Amino acid sequence: MERKKIVAANWKMNTLHAEAITLAKDILTMTRLVKEVEKIIFPPFPFINDVALLLQSETGFSTGAQNCSAYEKGAYTGEVSCAMIHSVGAEYVLIGHSERRAYFKEDAEVLVAKVHRALAQHLKVVYCFGEVLNERKAGQHQAVVKKQLQEVISQVPKEKMNQLILAYEPVWAIGTGETASPAQAQNMHAFVRQCLAELVDTETATSMPVLYGGSCNAQNAKELFACPDVDGGLIGGASLKPQEFASIVKAFQ
């Protein structure tokens, strides 16, 4: 079965307002013709609305939030709810990113709560997971990934599985310039599908998009995207350079 091809831009805590708009416009102009690839842009919170407005009449472009609150609404100073995110035109939210797990101590309980909130607001979730370097060196990468999938996927009702996209991001490859080799990526993505078959069913295992993230760039994208179980990329650093991001998107052609 033919899965969607997706390339997502995670801008993290970068850009000011004017830069964000220019970047979104440049990405739009440079990738508009690559119709077979769905582009998702994850700007910082304050710029989601403007980026979403810019992309709303375009086909093949969507906007997402990099985070969301685990709470519904109310006295949670500084938090941003899924309903708020949805109300400014975002369709997606990133949950489980390694930077959220490491720096903000987000554990499985919080991640499951966030996923439930997001799905209830009809947001699609890009659920990120991946092992750290020591875990890979110790040969524990599959066990770690299986646990991270099990903790969250088993809590998602079957009828909502089509609101989920997965992103395997080996932590040792994020922002380090080091990338998983195509063989390492393919092995893990195939293993992820095996886990999905066990945790959910074979239909979900074959239909769910699984993206690769971690120093994906214009040089290595083609090889990574050629792997049969890699359905695209979640791009950090390289998504801040429109030319480079466009080359990554075009690597799918």
Active site residues: 97, 169
Is 227 a binding residue for ligand PGA by CB under 6 A? The answer is: no
For tokens 């040089």, the residue is: 219
Choices 32-40, 77-85, 118-126, 207-215; region in contact with ligand PGA by CB under 6 A = 207-215
Distance CA 17, CA 2 (A): 37
Question: What pairs with residue 232 in β-bridges?
Answer: 6
Under a CB-based contact definition with an 8 Å cutoff, are residues 218 and 238 in contact? yes
Amino acid at 170: P
**CB-CB contact of 37 with 6 (8 Å):** yes
Is 216 a binding residue for ligand PGA by CB under 6 A? The answer is yes
- Site size toward ligand PGA (CB under 6 A) is 13
Q: What is the 3-state secondary structure (H, E, C) of 64-99?
A: EECCCCCCCCCCCCCCCCHHHHHHCCCCEEEECCHH
The piece of 26-34, 69-77, 116-124, 229-237 that touches ligand PGA (CB under 6 A) is 229-237
Report the residue number whose CB is nearest to ligand PGA.
236
Residue selected from 48, 112, 234, 251 as contacting ligand PGA according to rule CB under 6 A? 234
175 contributes a contact to ligand PGA by CB under 6 A: yes
Q: Looking at beta carbons only, is 27 or 235 nearer to ligand PGA?
A: 235
Contact between 236 and ligand PGA by CB under 6 A: the answer reads: yes
Tokens 């440079």 sit at which residue?
30
Binding residue for ligand PGA, selected from 210, 235, 246, 251, defined by CB under 6 A: 235
Calpha distance 252→245 (Å, rounded): 12
Residues that bind ligand PGA (CB under 6 A): 10, 169, 174-175, 213-216, 234-238
